[in-house]
Structure 1
Amino acid sequence: MNRWQAFRFAGAVLLLLLGLFGLDLVFPLPRAPLYSPVVLAADGSVLHAYLNPTQKWRMKTELAEITPALQQAIINKEDRYFRYHFGVNPLAILQAAGRNVFRTGRTTGASTITMQVARLLEPKERTFGNKLLEMVRATQLEAHYSKAEILQLYLNLVPYGGNIEGVKSAAMLYFQQPPDYLSLAQTVTLAIIPNQPRVLVLGKNNAQILAERNRWLRQFQQQGLFPDQDIEDALHEPLDVQRHAAPVLAPHLARRLVTQFPGQAIIHSTLQRGPQSKAEDLTKNYVRRLHELGITQAAVLVLNNRTRAVEAYVGSADFQDAASAGQVDGVRAIRSPGSTLKPFLYALALDRGLVTPKLKLPDVPSNFSGFRPENFDKNFSGEVTVERALTYSLNIPAVRVLSEMGVGTFTEKLRDAGFQRVAHDAPRLGLSTILGGCGATLEELTALYAALADKGRYRAVRLTSPPGPLSRGEGEPNDSAPRRRGSPSPRERGPGGEVTAGGEVPGVPLISPAAAFLITDILAQHTRPDLPLGYQGSTRLPKIAWKTGTSYGRRDAWSIGYNQDYTVGVWVGNFSGAGSPALTGTDIATPLLFDLFNALAYNSPNNWATTPASLDFRLVCAESGLVPGEHCANQLIDYYLPGTSSARRCEHQREALVSADGAVSYCRACVPASGFRRQLYPNPLPEVLAFRESQGLPATRLPAHNTDCRLVRNADDTGAALAITSPLANAEYLLNRHEKQQLLLSCAAGSEVRQVFWYVNDQFLRAAAATERVFFRPPSGNVKISCADDHGRNVDIQLQVADM
């Protein structure tokens, strides 16, 4: 070929390419078919399927699902030269034309698989002109798609009667299995129906279909398409089949994912089919028993701690229960979290050195700038350790710790943990946040507890995963027999797509491993008050750490637990917001939590709680939980974080100089030369002392100070500060003058205080004992209340009084 001929050839090729490109512009390919949205489990099985926008069941068959047996059966039946022609088979056209013209043999249309795809993509009346158009389309399809992709399109579009299209839809709705799980007999059955979908109707004409199936099996045997033994087994397989409903597991998650990924035909979720089915059954049956208590709904979330993959997602007890709003997604519903945030609060306090497990906190009636919390049982303990305050879910110690830490610090950490409503409402949140005075979802809370299980590392939950790798190269045939898929774990990816060894991804450290360990150690104790009835000493008690919660008005019951492998969150209540007297986290939510752990992770080891190297032991005073002071005889061992935990020394007892008869006390300035003795006196916080006295408990006060002492002393020399506990500072009071309503005056004073003096608007009212309750009628308007004790301390508050 000379240079001129080469130029002519290149020009011809270029013109051909331009012609084909122009043909595509003028005659574009048909639009892609609309598939039924399908949500898959982690193992690739179908969890939930929906009708496509045209109300047809057309589930997309993936290349990996087209088994060699299915390929061979379809190709040998429909188009034996499929892999060799360019979309149109000229020899078949000539043969068909001869048969049709001379009426010899069976009349055929010579349509290739590619031509059938063209017709299925653009259904038209069967005319000679439309047949020519199919041929052009077939050639165009061959230029754009591989043979595997064309075969995939065909298997996704072939009719199976009614509104069922595609091999996968037929396999799922008739055999309840995906195509690559079918036997050879089932595969051949699906291969023969598309030619006569109105005659060969599965479930109605099974006998006719069976005969046709066996005829083709024998024909395939003559062709040597499959081993003889496989053919014989297929011939003896019965055909007892009927149409089934589409899979409907995990309806709430399925709807969520389909909404999140509109137009996506196949969505790969992280759910495990077995745990999901078990969780749905347990939840539905459990809630059915609660109906007589006025409790109609529950939600469950199961997380894999290592990957944060959601393995079970139950949005309600029954999606179809319209009377109980079953279609509401309880996993994402914003509810009051009750006491479920307390473990996280104490973990943050541990990391800031504010508390240690044995530190004692006041549990007495308290006033936090107008906020007066109460414990769930309305009782008070005086003083409790941090671990007991958490185990018994006491409100007042938790509010005290939050007050010391700061609400902003706490809510900022919750924002880092993905609490969206808390982040939105943060400027308006107060101390009631720790008692459930904020909004949270089951998904947020379960992810937070998973951080406790994972050494304090937070990671967002994962609902989807990338599809696993194909076992066959791009769906091309190989020599393997029809197979069943295993359950390969999808690769785990972080927020930025990074992957680490073993599928783990780095997390955000919310709390230290030491704090996570200490909280887990407390929550894993089985000697606790929130064991449901019947579980004390029961073998049904799983090896987990857990915390319960009950919202105000008994509208929400929570129980969230974890072990090394899983974190399980449970919410029980009513989507209407109606409360129930029986609704508590302990008695209502925890039994379902235990059932779930016993069903999903009964044999899970309980060995995740290993002591971090950052923790150490030290001796503390048994009376206060502080580093022992000079007068601490009873000591015990406590965990602490070296360099972080407070090293404040205990002063639960103070040494005082008193007269020989113990009637008066002396300061260093007025102590006599003789006739005195040294004596230890309790030195509790003023509010603890006042509580003990109000309850009639032993509360020894320091004797009154020597009245002959004329030295003016400051507060630092005489003990704890003075505080007015009633009325509330900066509050507004409405009083009915006709009913002669009065205000209560009370204070919290140190153990050395015997007498206090009350003033109203700088006018002396009266003297009273330190623990005496005084009532008076205040004037209207701005009122200043002052209190002074017999040691020279004083405190003022302002309030507003109005008449009704």
Structure 2
Amino acid sequence: MSEELPAGEPAAPGAGRVAPRIGPHPRRAVRAAGWAAIVAAGLTGGAYAGLAGLGHGAPPADPEVSPEVVDRAGALLRPFALKDGRWRLEARAKDVDPRFLAMLFAYEDKRFRDHGGADPRALARAALQALGAGRVVSGGSTLTMQVARLSDPPRPRTLGAKLRQVARAIAIERHRTKDEILALYLTLAPYGGNIEGVRAAALTYFGKEPRRLTLGEAALLVALPQAPEARRPDRNPDAARAARDRVLDRLSAQGALKADEVRLAKLEPVPRARLPLPQRAPHLAEQMVAERPALRRHALTLERDLQARLEDLVRERTAALGRGLSAALLVVDNASSEVRVYVGGADFADASRAGAVDLARAVRSPGSTLKPFIYALAFDDGIAHPETLIEDAPVRFGTWRPENFDLSYQGVLPVRKALQLSLNVPAVRLLEAVGPQRLATRIKETGARLELPEGAAPSLPMGLGGVGIRLTDLAMLYAALAHGGQALPLKLRAAGDAATPVRPPRALVGEVAAWYVASSLLGTPAPDNALGGRIAFKTGTSYGYRDAWAVGFDGRRTVAVWVGRPDGRPVADLTGRSAAAPLLFDAFARIVRTPAPLEAAPKGAVAAVNARLPLPQRRFGADPSAERFALVYPPDGARLETGGDGEGASDEGAGLAIKVEGGVLPLTVLADGRPVARSDDRRTLFWTPLGRGFVRLTVIDAAGHAASATVRVD
């Protein structure tokens, strides 16, 4: 059934034909011709049953194939070589271009659908050609006979081996359907080096699956298995081209191809180098295969095209950030918690960035990224509302005095604004009220893991990053905020995987509290050159500039980003806002043109200004029954003079007078957030301005009440 091999071109194992004569070897030629004649005579004489009973008739077992990791639609993400280094990807007829199959049958086995394993007519013709020419012209092997030979260990080309091959082919036909036999050939056919099967060959030589092949590509893939080493395109492109063109010429002579098609196909270039096989989501792929090594095909929830775009984005951005830096990025579907993109590092092959380390699962300090969950619990408890006023002023918690990132204070402001500005003191005050142990317990109940030093208990510093967490867990927690406070474990394997347990959602926070946080984060100031108000997001920076975070969501998806050095060394000026947030916004831009709107306000959400809130919610920490606390003098907007007999001058010459009504002693005065005066026993204090201009004065009593006024000093 196969072509005559050119002189000097050896037949490789699995090629299905006897090697051509090279030089004068008449005895070998006559002996080979005799074998072909004997086999042909036996088959034409009706000896199928006898051959099948030679003791070699057991059908071949399913061949070992390379494990494959595919995306949700079945697109290949990453294959893995067999233990001996071969690439053998499982293939079926539906995986291959129909034109390739038509050419394969026309060239190799015209009666494939009709014969019972061996084709007596083809073998008889081969025998007659051999006897007439004094050498083997064609081998007469069917596709089933080639499968039989490829399924067995390599053997010398003897008459006994040929008869065994025929017997095995007959047995295969009895136990396998034609489609199954074709799939075995498409999987086992040799294509040079360590490449086996038409899929591995198409990916290696053309960089694509064999579903859509050009005519020239299909002809080359038909030609290579007859002499895979001699015709390897990456080593012998001229031999590969000649073999391809002979396939085209024969099919043209048979009338299977038109002359103009053949002419154009011959103009196609022959690949001169092997291409790397796909390697998308390499960190996750390795993890999935390690978890279930016996599984041939691992179907994940990822989207290959989106995975490729964001892998490229992470590689580009981290290269611009500097040497040694890497990044991890996840995209999660809010409703299902399925992971659509999993980037575990900037470049899997870059050792300078510890590329093989899966940084999406590395335990790092989260900086301020846990703050939204503190606020959510406060909203759940009813001790705060987004419009509740809260003080941002120096305060001690035992021996610990938290400070804001910029070392300044904002005075009294709404809780919503405190979250948007990521202020530390308000967050710690709220955490003290809801309890750090309760926060840790609620997070752990969702399945997320918080890492504390051995023997340590959750404490107030955890709200500012004093705990370890993984990017995977942080992404799950933010996806819960985006989806009504219901947390689902991240799903990595595609639907239908019975081995993956299905766990019901667990409440992280209430639906109203989750919406309050989401709507507040929607107003977080966007990084430079980005549009704000489109995604709800939060940044974080760990102590010592070791970790930069940004996590954001719209109505459909959550994107989580980590940037830093894999070895944990600090990086000067590395912050969530400068390094991670731009990557977050760029990722959203590559995912979708316009982010989806957040979920609508749930039943029970209160949209009200501060003055219309219930009295206990108007000011955090305020006691409604306490005596009225107010700054009597100077009034808001007053103009004060530092000298003479002005109204604000002190009789004691101690500066300007500040008069307070009510409150719990002692009192502290702040000027633009800096403490400037204190009184333990009086409600009149004195302050000496350091210069002229506008000043924000705030008085705080021992119970945490505050009153403020903005004045102008002349």
Q: What TM-score, normalized to structure 2?
A: 0.75
Match of 1:613 in 2: 603
1:547 to 538, 545, 550: 538
Gaps of 5+ in 1: 1-18, 467-490, 499-505, 630-634, 639-644, 656-679, 705-746, 753-804
CA 1:381–1:652 in structure 2 vs 1: closer, same or farther (change >3 Å)? farther
CA 1:515–1:226 in structure 2 vs 1: closer, same or farther (change >3 Å)? farther
Match of 1:577 in 2: 568
User: Matched residue of 1:653: which SS?
Assistant: coil
1:449 to 475, 478, 501: 478
2:86 to 53, 56, 63: 56
2:422 to 370, 393, 397: 393
Instruction: Encode CA deviations 1:319-377: one digit per residue, 9 max, x unaligned.
Output: 22223322111111111111101112211221221211122334444444555433333
1:117 to 144, 147, 150: 147
Contact 2:512 2:604 in 1 (8 A): yes
Amino acid at match of 1:126: R
Match of 1:627 in 2: 615
Instruction: Encode CA deviations 1:488-518: one digit per residue, 9 max, x unaligned.
Output: xxx89996579xxxxxxx7444223322221
User: Matched residue of 1:546: which SS?
Assistant: strand
Please tell me whether residue 181 in structure 1 is matched to residue 212 in structure 2: yes
1:513 to 511, 514, 519: 511
Instruction: Encode CA deviations 1:421-458: one digit per residue, 9 max, x unaligned.
Output: 45997973222222222221111111221222223232
Contact 1:96 1:107 in 2 (8 A): yes
Amino acid at match of 1:696: V
For 1:545 and 1:21, locate their aligned partners in 2 and report how far apart those are by CA, in whole Å. Answer: 71
CA 1:114–1:22 in structure 2 vs 1: closer, same or farther (change >3 Å)? closer
Match of 2:31 in 1: none
Match of 1:84 in 2: 114
2:463 to 434, 439, 444: 434
Within-5 A mapping of 1:371-386: 371-386=400-415
Structure 1 window deviating more from structure 2 (156-165 vs 65-74): it is 65-74
For 2:472 and 2:54, locate their aligned partners in 1 and report how far apart those are by CA, in whole Å. Answer: 53
For 1:685 and 1:276, locate their aligned partners in 2 and report how far apart those are by CA, in whole Å. Answer: 59
Contact 1:338 1:436 in 2 (8 A): yes
User: Matched residue of 1:61: which SS?
Assistant: coil
User: Matched residue of 2:146: which SS?
Assistant: helix
For 1:616 and 1:318, locate their aligned partners in 2 and report how far apart those are by CA, in whole Å. Answer: 47
Contact 1:37 1:266 in 2 (8 A): yes
User: Matched residue of 2:676: which SS?
Assistant: coil
Contact 1:692 1:699 in 2 (8 A): no
Contact 1:681 1:700 in 2 (8 A): no
CA 1:379–1:48 in structure 2 vs 1: closer, same or farther (change >3 Å)? same
Structure 1 window deviating more from structure 2 (379-388 vs 226-235): it is 226-235
Match of 1:357 in 2: 386
Amino acid at match of 1:511: V
Instruction: Encode CA deviations 1:505-552: one digit per residue, 9 max, x unaligned.
Output: x744422332222112211115x4xx54xx1xx455582111011112
1:588, distance to aligned residue in structure 2 (A): 2.0
1:175, distance to aligned residue in structure 2 (A): 0.6
Instruction: Encode CA deviations 1:247-276: one digit per residue, 9 max, x unaligned.
Output: 233322232223233243433333333332
Match of 1:74 in 2: 104
1:254 to 281, 285, 288: 285
Amino acid at match of 1:627: L
User: Matched residue of 1:461: which SS?
Assistant: coil
User: Matched residue of 2:69: which SS?
Assistant: strand
User: Matched residue of 1:33: which SS?
Assistant: coil
User: Matched residue of 1:302: which SS?
Assistant: strand
Contact 1:542 1:597 in 2 (8 A): no
For 2:58 and 2:575, locate their aligned partners in 1 and report how far apart those are by CA, in whole Å. Answer: 63
Match of 1:319 in 2: 348
Identity of aligned residues (%): 35
CA 1:109–1:611 in structure 2 vs 1: closer, same or farther (change >3 Å)? same
For 1:553 and 1:310, locate their aligned partners in 2 and report how far apart those are by CA, in whole Å. Answer: 31
Contact 2:446 2:507 in 1 (8 A): no
Contact 1:308 1:460 in 2 (8 A): yes
Within-5 A mapping of 1:10-409: 30-100=60-130, 107-122=137-152, 123-225=154-256, 234-235=265-266, 237-239=268-270, 241-291=272-322, 296-368=325-397, 371-409=400-438
CA 1:206–1:322 in structure 2 vs 1: closer, same or farther (change >3 Å)? closer
Contact 2:147 2:184 in 1 (8 A): yes
1:579, distance to aligned residue in structure 2 (A): 1.0
User: Matched residue of 1:420: which SS?
Assistant: coil
For 2:670 and 2:663, locate their aligned partners in 1 and report how far apart those are by CA, in whole Å. Answer: 10
User: Matched residue of 1:561: which SS?
Assistant: strand
1:647, distance to aligned residue in structure 2 (A): 12
User: Matched residue of 2:211: which SS?
Assistant: helix
1:557, distance to aligned residue in structure 2 (A): 0.9
For 1:94 and 1:383, locate their aligned partners in 2 and report how far apart those are by CA, in whole Å. Answer: 99
For 2:363 and 2:484, locate their aligned partners in 1 and report how far apart those are by CA, in whole Å. Answer: 27
Match of 1:596 in 2: 587
Match of 1:744 in 2: none
CA 1:21–1:563 in structure 2 vs 1: closer, same or farther (change >3 Å)? farther
For 2:53 and 2:662, locate their aligned partners in 1 and report how far apart those are by CA, in whole Å. Answer: 95
Instruction: Encode CA deviations 1:632-653: one digit per residue, 9 max, x unaligned.
Output: xxx9xx9xxxxxx999847571
Match of 2:628 in 1: 653
For 1:298 and 1:314, locate their aligned partners in 2 and report how far apart those are by CA, in whole Å. Answer: 8
Match of 1:13 in 2: none
For 2:53 and 2:371, locate their aligned partners in 1 and report how far apart those are by CA, in whole Å. Answer: 69
Amino acid at match of 2:377: L
For 1:628 and 1:442, locate their aligned partners in 2 and report how far apart those are by CA, in whole Å. Answer: 37
Match of 2:697 in 1: none
Contact 2:97 2:212 in 1 (8 A): no
Give the aligned CA root-mean-square deviation in angstroms: 3.9
For 1:598 and 1:212, locate their aligned partners in 2 and report how far apart those are by CA, in whole Å. Answer: 48
Contact 2:621 2:704 in 1 (8 A): no
For 1:515 and 1:22, locate their aligned partners in 2 and report how far apart those are by CA, in whole Å. Answer: 76
Match of 2:39 in 1: none
Amino acid at match of 2:586: D
CA 1:328–1:99 in structure 2 vs 1: closer, same or farther (change >3 Å)? same
CA 1:102–1:456 in structure 2 vs 1: closer, same or farther (change >3 Å)? same
Q: Number of residue pairs matched?
A: 610
Contact 1:620 1:627 in 2 (8 A): no
1:180, distance to aligned residue in structure 2 (A): 0.4
1:554, distance to aligned residue in structure 2 (A): 1.7
1:615, distance to aligned residue in structure 2 (A): 1.2
Contact 1:356 1:386 in 2 (8 A): yes
User: Matched residue of 1:141: which SS?
Assistant: helix
For 2:51 and 2:479, locate their aligned partners in 1 and report how far apart those are by CA, in whole Å. Answer: 58
Amino acid at match of 1:695: P
Contact 1:60 1:265 in 2 (8 A): no
